[in-house]
Every structure is written in C-alpha cells, then in structure tokens.
Homo-oligomer: A and B are copies of this chain.
C-alpha cells in the first residue's frame, strides 16, 4: 500500500514537488563504483545514477570528480532542480580534500548550497537505520567496525588495510585460502579441497610428486603466480572458501577454520567499538541497531551467522547481557544512508516515515 502511494507521489506530482520541496543529491562513492540519488526533504527519491569509482584516494581527484558528476547527472535525468546540498560518502572522509573544486564541479548541475563529505561508515549505518546511535560492521575487500553516537562516528576499529589488519575481509579470506593451499602442498597444513580449486583457478597442473630442487612444482608455480599480481588481488580467492563449505559432501576442516577465524575476528572488531559506552560490551550490542555491510557479510549467510554466534559467546561473558535474537540489518551499500545523512545534515528530521520513503522509492528506482 505504502509503495503505491510513494509511486503516485513521485510520478504524478513530481514537477510540483521539485519546485516546492527542498532537493538534495546524495552520493556513495566507492573505489570501483559510484551511486547518486536525487532526494527531496520528505524522503522521496526522484532519480538514480551510477558511474565508475569516485574515491579520490584510489582514482585520483580528476577522474573521481568526473564520476561523481556523471552519476549525479544521471540521477537528475535532465529535470530542472535547485539542489540545496550535496553529500558524498566515501572512505577516507577525514582526508583534506579541495572542497572548492568539488563545488565548481557541481554548480553547473544546479547546486546552490554546499557540498559535504562524510564517512562511508556512517552512510552504511544509515542505509539500515535512521537512529543516531548504533553499530556498523562492514566486511567487503576491507573490514571495519564503527560505533555511531549522536549521528557521528564515536569509535572505529580495524579498517587498517590489507597489510596490517582488515581481519575477516575479502582480502583476508583470499590470502588465508592461498596460504592454506601453500601449506597443504608442502605438508605444513592439512589437505583441503581448496587446493584443487585454487590450482584450477590459476591454471596450474597438479602433479603430486613433481619436484625441482626439493620444491613441489605446483607450489613453485603457485608462488610465481601470486607474486606476479598485486597483493590486493588475493581477494579473488575469497569466494572459494564458501564454495568448498557449501559444496562438500563432508565438511572441509580447513575451510571451516578459515570462516570461523574470520567470524571471530569480525566479532572482536565489533566488540572493540561497542566497549567504552558501558562496561559490559555485550549489553551495549543489544541496545542500538546493528548494521552489516559488505559482500562478505551480505552475499551469503555463512559469515554473518558465524559473527552473530561469536558475539553470543564473547569474552565479556557468554551472552550475559545479550538479547537472544541479535538481528543484524543487512545493507547493500551506502547510497540510502547518504540520502538519510544529507537530510539530517540540513536539519531535516528523518523519522521512520521519511526513512521508509527513502528505502521504498530508492528500491523502485533501482529495480
């Protein structure tokens, strides 16, 4: 019923609303893709557009700005609208960016107000909730946890990158998979069905007894292939651990161990940010909404469920203050949250009604 009303508002009275409502552009700028939405102050999303990577840290300033403008132009769809404000959610929002250049890029689109940059962590959280207190856990290529308080980031844990941490992330999983195969090949680790999958993926023939200078030839080839590519590309092997877990007639101990360690690390990241509010971290977890983002947590139930299990039996006492039903809210990205944020930052109260209008009208535009 609600959906029908929203469709009506956004289609029939669109022209009128664009004149009388306040309009905003909300962007979610990732390393490889950017999403933009035109949203009004009642939470109605009127247009949606996507483009390539829009993060200056990974793409460079010029190409990133081009992507932001391109996605925004698509979201505007040629409709004339005065844009009161633009909000861009991105990783590394604390970097000192030349905001006036962003401003110059957006003025031709009708921007009359300011452009602001916010953390992608906040945007991910607000994609799942309109509350101003809660927790977010994201495990995509990287992994990071955050506590939100007063609609700001109060604490951040991990997100320390592929070399230092990002434990439980896609990169972390991919590296663990290849390390486990390396160890299985030379006998340091247990045999695993991952070996066949990884060698096949890399086009390496498996000859059990072929050695050169004492080294198994398959392992030598594995080493060569891995060091030919950039370290971060190891994340491509992450899906194999789920494939093995799901497809195996009997459980693969090595794959299960990797998934369990990922889940425990992610639970630890979440507990780290949940502490400091109450002495009992577990009780705090149950208080506010818990939002999960990133493909590792949202594209399959395995890790998300294992994280919830790990939270129930955390060090602060096995589930003492914890609700029996921890139900994380799964979100695909930060574009809905960016729309929530741009309204909040312009003093607009995003209540449950506005929030569900954002969710529903955005979903209709993306479908």
Contact = CB atoms under 8 A, between A and B. Distances in A.
A179 interface: yes
A283 interface: no
Which of A146, A147, A160, A227 has its CB near the most chain B CB atoms (within 10 A)? A160
A164 B187 contact: no
Given A163-B227, A164-B179, A219-B160, A272 B212 contact: no
Contacts of A119: 213-214
A188 B227 contact: no
Interface string A256-285: 000000000100110111011000000000
B182 A165 contact: yes
Interface in A173-225: 175, 178-179, 182-183, 186-189, 211-215, 219-220, 222-223
A270 to B, nearest CB: 10
Given A164-B178, A175-B163, A219-B160, A153 B213 contact: yes
A225 to B, nearest CB: 10
Interface string A102-139: 00000000000000000101000000000000000000
A215 B183 CA distance: 36
Nearest to A186: B157
What is the interface of chain A mostly: helix, strand, loop, or mixed? Answer: mixed
A158 interface: yes
B152 A214 contact: yes
A157 B265 CA distance: 28
A363 interface: no
A156 to B, nearest CB: 4
Contact of A160 (B157, B161, B223): B223
A59 B312 CA distance: 53
Going nearest first, the 7 A-B pairs with the smallest beta carbon separation are A153-B214, A187-B272, A156-B214, A157-B186, A94-B213, A156-B215, A188-B272
22 contacts: A94-B213, A121-B214, A147-B214, A152-B214, A154-B214, A155-B214, A158-B186, A160-B223, A161-B223, A163-B227, A164-B182, A164-B226, A165-B179, A165-B183, A165-B188, A167-B188, A186-B272, A187-B271, A187-B272, A187-B276, A188-B265, A189-B268
